[in-house]
Amino acid sequence: MDMLQVSVWRGAASGGYRTYEVPRQESQSVLDVVTYIQRSIDPTLAYRFACRVGMCGACAMTVNGVARWTCRTHVTKVAKGNAIQIAPLANLPVVKDLVTDMREFFDKWARARGQFVPSATRKDDFARVASDSPGRVAANAGIECIGCGVCYASCDVVSWNSGYLGPAALNRAWTLVNDVRDRARRERLAAVAGDAGCHACHTHLDCSERCPKSIAPTAAIAGLKRAVALAAWKGEL
Amino acid sequence: MGAKSETWLWIAQRASAALLALCVLVHLLTIIYAVRHGLSGAAILERTRGNAAGLAFYSLYVLAIAVHAPIGLRTLCQEWLGWRNASLNWFMAAVAVALFAFGLRAAWAVFV
């Protein structure tokens, strides 16, 4: 039987790679490989997954140096010969082995004012937003983000500037800036401006290149830069 | 630095970049013209001396550089050196003044 040589990160911030031999199978995903190791070779391996079908984003890891959803990554697509290297997502503290601490990632969504602030009450009628209105179209482009952290782990700016809000939080802010029902636009634009916000983006496009949902956070960040500049110009920042 | 100041720095850098795109183009065309026509240093000075339009153009060019370069350098210092306190802003203000002064001195030197 063909065997895969799988090098897996073991430990936390300090640790090392340990190599496991895993039988190669047809239509095998990288998550299948990790699951095999944990169930059949070393039950102490820690990793995270839930849906296994690309809906939850929990299984994101670094595979051969690239952040990916392991459930949607076929071994044939990434294996170099018979070798694969699997590590936790970059730019996040490692809890154990392949499990990262996502708190900072989601705290940054909150810092970017990622919460919807309604302008209407429950007594008001439903807002009617035309599906082809510019705001709705702009929000649609980023609304499918499931918060897997692949973009955040792929972002060079996050690795240089730990305070940087990152592509996912800024993408979320951009969807809300375009939501006509929201009333926190001014506060949100102030929250995403500056060195920790949209102005820190260098447009490397790694986030857009790696997003498994084909979202382009770079475009959202460019939109925020325009909106923030316009707000500053009008004295609304 | 606050969100508002950072945003204005960003606007200043983009606006100066737009100006630089034009200035660099004119500057390069001038160099190509001078080289292709085999102009000597004396011949170039003959054209620049007393040329108010030339002085105005290069003053604008120097101003765009003095605005653009320190803002970019400031970001580099923040990201690569981790220099993020107020001293960086003072240092970059000094860089801006130096670039403007030296650039203007050069433009003035070929004018008079």
Q: Which sequence spans correspond to the domains of chain A?
A: 3-100, 103-233
Query: Which runs of E-coded beta strand occur in chain A?
Result: 3-11, 15-23, 60-63, 66-69, 83-87, 94-96, 99-100
**CATH classification at residue B32:** 1.20.1300
Q: What is the pTM of this model?
A: 0.90
* CATH code of the domain occupying A103-233: 1.10.1060.10
Of A157, A191, A225, nearest to B10 by CB-CB distance is A225
Q: Would you call A160 an interface residue with chain B, using a CB distance cutoff of 8 Å?
A: yes
Q: What is the pLDDT of residues B2-17, one digit of tens each?
A: 889 999 999 999 999 9
Determine, for residues B8 and A232 on separate chains, whether the beta-carbon distance falls below 8 Å.
Answer: yes
Compare all CA atoms of chain B with the CA of A191 and give the residue at the minimum distance: B3
Q: Yes or no: say if A197 and A224 are a contact pair by the CB < 8 Å rule.
A: yes
Q: How confident is the model at residue B34 (pLDDT cuts 50, 70, 90)?
A: very high
Of A193, A195, A228, nearest to B78 by CB-CB distance is A195
In this structure, are strands A15-23 and A99-100 parallel, antiparallel, or unpaired?
Answer: unpaired
The whole-number pLDDT of residue A1 equals 73
Q: What is the pLDDT of residues B49-101, one digit of tens each?
A: 999 999 999 999 999 999 999 999 999 999 889 898 899 999 999 999 999 99
Distance CA B62, CA B17 (A): 12
Domain count, chain B: 1
The whole-number pLDDT of residue A34 equals 98
Determine, for residues B3 and A225 on separate chains, whether the beta-carbon distance falls below 8 Å.
Answer: no
Distance CA A16, CA A11 (A): 7
Distance CA B55, CA B97 (A): 18
Q: What is the pLDDT of residues A13-44, one digit of tens each?
A: 999 999 999 999 999 999 999 999 999 999 99
Among B residues 28-67, those touching chain A with beta carbons less than 8 Å apart = none
The whole-number pLDDT of residue A46 equals 98
Of B2, B6, B79, nearest to A199 by CB-CB distance is B6
Among B residues 6-25, those touching chain A with beta carbons less than 8 Å apart = 6-11, 14
Tokens in use for A11? 């430990």
Collect all residues of chain B within an 8 Å Cβ-Cβ radius of residue A199.
6-7, 9-10
The fold for domain A3-100 equals Ubiquitin-like (UB roll) (3.10.20)
Q: Would you call A196 an interface residue with chain B, using a CB distance cutoff of 8 Å?
A: no
Q: Yes or no: say if A9 and A98 are a contact pair by the CB < 8 Å rule.
A: yes
The whole-number pLDDT of residue A19 equals 98
Distance CA A234, CA A230 (A): 6
Three-class secondary structure of residue A3 per DSSP: strand
Query: How many contacts (CB atoms, under 8 Å) link A and B?
Result: 43
Collect all residues of chain B within an 8 Å Cβ-Cβ radius of residue A200.
75
Q: Would you call A237 an interface residue with chain B, using a CB distance cutoff of 8 Å?
A: yes
Distance CA B100, CA B64 (A): 9
The whole-number pLDDT of residue A75 equals 97
- Looking at the complex, report in whole angstroms how far the Cα of residue A190 sits from the nearest Cα belonging to chain B: 6
What are the helix and strand counts (H, E) for chain B?
A: 4, 0
What is the mean pLDDT of each successive set of 10 residues along chain A, which is 237 residues long?
94 96 96 98 98 96 98 96 96 98 98 96 94 96 97 96 96 97 96 92 97 98 97 92
Mutate to test the interface with A, among B10, B74, B85 (most CBs of A within 10 A): B10
Q: Which domain holds residue B61?
A: 3-109
The whole-number pLDDT of residue B1 equals 78
The whole-number pLDDT of residue A28 equals 97
Of B3, B11, B14, nearest to A194 by CB-CB distance is B3
Cα separation values, A68 from A54, A150, A212, B110, Å: 11, 6, 7, 58
